[in-house]
Amino acid sequence: MINKLNDMEIFRPMLAIFLLLSIRCPMVLADELPNIVVIFADDLGYGDLGFTGSKEILTPNIDALANNGVIFKNGYVSHPYCGPSRAGLLTGRHQARFGMEVNAAHSPDDPYMGLPLEEKTFASRLQPLGYKTAVIGKWHVGSHPKFHPNNRGFDYFYGFLPGGHNYFPESIRVSSDPYDAPMVRNGKPAQLQEYLTTALSRDAAKFVTETKGPFMLYLAYNAPHQPLEATKKDLAKYTHIKDKNRRIYAAMIDSMDQGVGRVVEALKQSNKFDNTLIFFLSDNGGVYPEYWMPNSMWASNFPFRRGKVSLTEGGVHVPFIAHWPQGFGKAGEIDGLVSSLDIAATALGVAGADTSDANLDGVDLTPYVTREKSGSPHAALFWRLEEADHIWAVRTPQYKYLHQTLPGVGKSFFDMQADPYEANNLYGQEPELQAQLATLWNQWNSHNKQNVLLQAEPYKKQRAKFYEDWYQQLLQKAQEHKPYVVE
Ligand code: CA
């Protein structure tokens, strides 16, 4: 009896330490490194998911991840449109650090048009730890072979290199339109035999089922980005939506949600679901009828203002969740400021990577989700959009200060606690607070690089000029040429 008591007395503190460690550090319970899946939607409106309030669009699979995982209520992307947002996500560094603030033009011949080669993706930091890495879907950070996913840290690639793609095999033509670009699987042309979102989901499910050992899958849907194309089967669920464009867009989101369900089911069937950390978010807000795209009005960013390309909340405040039964559990909501840049830092953190040389701008979110740490993961978040146009924003947990030349925006200052939907512009009323936020932004920006890339349209013009100049030079040379005389 005495011995038994002694055993128990020794055992109790050990048990307590073990339980404490189990709660504080979920990795203690994990026999294996967690799998990581990052699901990135494209141009998804904030209000267009069930868990963010949509009554029109059905997203039961994404909602289940949100409701059983963690919802980042103040989750942001680092840029209000595609390419730069992806560059930030993939590196965990703000893309203004390396001058990539516009969509890289699709130019397979140009070895400079893409995510700078000195920047490392977090996939490439996971590979040495034994992770099998994959990107399935849209790449959009460089089309020259030097920038291809297989050369940027991904063992496996199935998808397309440009910023978008047609959805149906029969709508793809032989043309120079990037949306007609061939699908690629590991550097070789790949087939597309069904609706694109279904094909990507099928490939993702296969990858998670078949991969042995830990993996990181970056599933970059182009849904619900244009072109607005949906299957008859999915459209049939949305006959209650009168507006045709919105009806198609809703069906595209539905298909993506079914794809998420397919991946979740594959994880469950292969007994990997409990130890897989899944992130889901959008690369930017849904489209909004700004003056340069006045007919783009099918998305809802409710309750936020404006949408894609804007630094008001509708452009950068996105649906953002994580789900990891074994590590995070049903963790509820996190109110602090969270960034898409945090995904790399969190993934590398749970994998135990050394990030001391990585200069990450993101934060490992794990201790915030497990409540080991409280407060906001970031003291401030920053945006810079084509600096030459003076489009910038800074947000602290309390305030937001921004400038963008859009109707009703201009210079704006908001108390985000009292006014989270940016209805009451306090610009000029709080000069000291404005100056403090301006100082934060200036300090941050002093370490950034000017953008060095061109968007598709100016790039096309430059390239046309290059060909024209070259042709004129050759023409002149030809005219000056003395005819060869045969003897
Ligand atoms: Ca996008």
Q: What angle do CA 156, 150, 103 make, to 5 degrees?
A: 110
Using CA atoms of 283, 253, 46, 325 in order, give the dihedral in degrees to the nearest 10: -80
Separation CA 422–CA 416 (nearest Å): 7
Q: Which residues are CB-contacts of 360 (< 8 A; sequence separation ≥ 6)? A: 92, 93, 341, 344, 345, 348
Q: According to the model, what pLDDT value does residue 312 have?
A: 98
| Catalytic residue set | 82, 140
Average confidence (pLDDT) over 81-105 = 96
pLDDT higher at 124 or 24: 124
Task: Give pLDDT, residue 388.
Answer: 65
User: Using CA atoms, how far apart are residues 25 and 150, in angstroms rounded to an integer?
Assistant: 33
Whole-number Å distance, alpha carbon 432 to ligand 1 midpoint, is 35
* C-alpha span between 304 and 46 (Å, rounded): 8
Q: What is the mean pLDDT of residues 388-407?
A: 94
Tally: H helices and E strands in the chain: 12, 14
Residue 123 CA to ligand 1 center (angstroms) comes to: 21
**How far is the C-alpha of 6 from the C-alpha of 182, rounded, in Å?**
71
Cross-strand bridge partners of residue 159: 137, 184
Instruction: Tell me the H-state helices in 127-243.
Output: 196-210, 232-235
Give me the DSSP letters along 338-404.
EETTHHHHHHHHHHT---TTS---S---HHHHTTSS-S-S-S-EEEEE-GGG-EEEEE-SSEEEEEE
Calculate the average pLDDT of the chain.
93
The SS3 call for residue 480 is helix
pLDDT per residue as tens digits for the range 320-331: 999 999 999 999
Q: Which of 107, 117, 106, 164 is nearest to 138 (CA)?
A: 164
Provide the strand spans (E) within 128-214: 132-138, 156-160, 183-185, 188-190
Query: With 70 as the cut, is the pLDDT of residue 485 above it?
Result: yes
pLDDT band at 31 (very low <50, low <70, confident <90, very high): low
What string of DSSP letters covers 102-123? SPPP--TT-TTSBS-TTSPPHH
Q: How confident is the model at residue 407 (pLDDT cuts 50, 70, 90)?
A: very high
Q: How far is the CA of 475 from the centre of ligand 1 (A)?
A: 43
Is the pLDDT at 24 greater than 60, yes or no?
no
CB atoms within 10 A of CB 150: 15
Q: Which domains does the chain have, with CATH numbers?
A: 32-369 (3.40.720.10), 381-445 (3.30.1120.10)
Residue 18 has pLDDT above 50, yes or no: no
User: Ligand 1 centroid to 84 CA: how many Å?
Assistant: 10
| pLDDT reading at 3 higher than 50 | no
The b-or-e profile of 289-300 (16+ CB within 10 A means b, else e) is ebeeeeebebbb
Q: What digits encode the pLDDT tens for the residues 107-164?
A: 999 999 999 999 999 999 999 999 999 999 999 999 999 999 999 999 999 999 999 9
CA of 226 to the centre of ligand 1 (A): 10
pLDDT of 65 above 80:
yes
Q: 69 by DSSP, 3-state: which? A: coil
Q: What separation in Å is there between the alpha carbon of 287 and the centre of ligand 1? A: 9
Summarised one tens digit per residue, pLDDT across range 170-204 is 999 989 899 999 999 999 999 999 999 999 999 99
318 Cα: distance to centroid of ligand 1 (angstroms): 11
Terminal C-alpha separation, the chain: 120
399-409: b (≥16 Cβ within 10 Å) or e: bbbbbbebeeb
As a whole number, mean pLDDT of residues 369-378 equals 97
Distance 195 CA to ligand 1 centre (A): 19
The pLDDT, as a whole number, for residue 25 is 44
For residues 263-278, average pLDDT: 98
Q: What is the 255 CA–ligand 1 centroid distance (Å)? A: 17
Q: Using CA of residue 47, residue 48, residue 52, residue 54, what is the dihedral sign? A: positive
What is the pLDDT at residue 387? 62
